[in-house]
Amino acid sequence: MAELKSLGGEAYLALAQSYGQSAFAYGAEGPRGYAGAGGGDFAGKAAESSGEQSGEEEDAFEAAAKGGKLKAGGLGKKPKEQRSLRLSINARERRRMHDLNDALDGLRSVIPYAHSPSVRKLSKIATLLLAKNYILMQAQALEEMRRLVAYLNQGQALGAPLAPFGQSAVYPFAGSAVPGCPDKCGAFAGASALCKHCSDKP
């Protein structure tokens, strides 16, 4: 896992290959659930316990109550109310985690690595680290391209530039960080809309 933390395109490529045969072999990820180890099982379990209260969940509640994890009479509620409150909190948390996993699946689907049933699905941490490296690699490639285009435009010396390449309107990477934003969100296109600091500003 340590290798995932390294930066740069080469590192990314090596990594992507270690997770699949080809770094850029896109493929259709199966529907929901896990292609590899233990996958179907988790998905099945989730489906089983999501929504309504499962027997399993009730047992867990009983056990917790017995084990003293649930303070008897906490918040001054009747056990029955307390119980339904706990169950609704559990359901919310489950839903939240499912949403998080959906988002991770979405991220996996756009990371170039071999998506195939025969290849084990990226773990959560691997997905995040790989995505980070991929973004850095793309930014680097873009910067290189920009330099190349600028060079080519210079070569045209007396003629009018052919394209507005290299200008900030086209290249939002050109140090356009939003002033005062601790996240430096402006470094990436469209990030400020998602940036907590910037979107919070009136």
Interface with DNA by CB under 7 A: which residues?
1, 36-38, 41-42, 45-46, 48-50, 54, 56-57, 60-61, 63-64, 69-71, 75, 86, 88-94, 96-98, 101, 121-126
Least distance in angstroms from the C-beta of 122 to DNA: 7
Minimum distance from residue 53 beta carbon to DNA (Å): 8
* DSSP structure string for 28-82: PPPSSS-SSTTHHHHHHHHHHHSSSPPHHHHHHHHHHHHTT-SPTTGGG--HHHH
The amino acid that residue 9 corresponds to is: G
| Distance in angstroms (rounded) separating the CA atoms of residues 91 and 95 | 6
Nearer to DNA, 98 or 147 (CB): 98
Q: Which residue has the tokens 């850029």?
A: 24
Q: How far is the CB of 155 from DNA (least distance, A)?
A: 49
Measured from the CB atom, is 37 or 170 closer to DNA? 37
Which residue number, 89 or 170, has a Cβ lying nearer to DNA?
Answer: 89
DSSP letter at 21 equals S
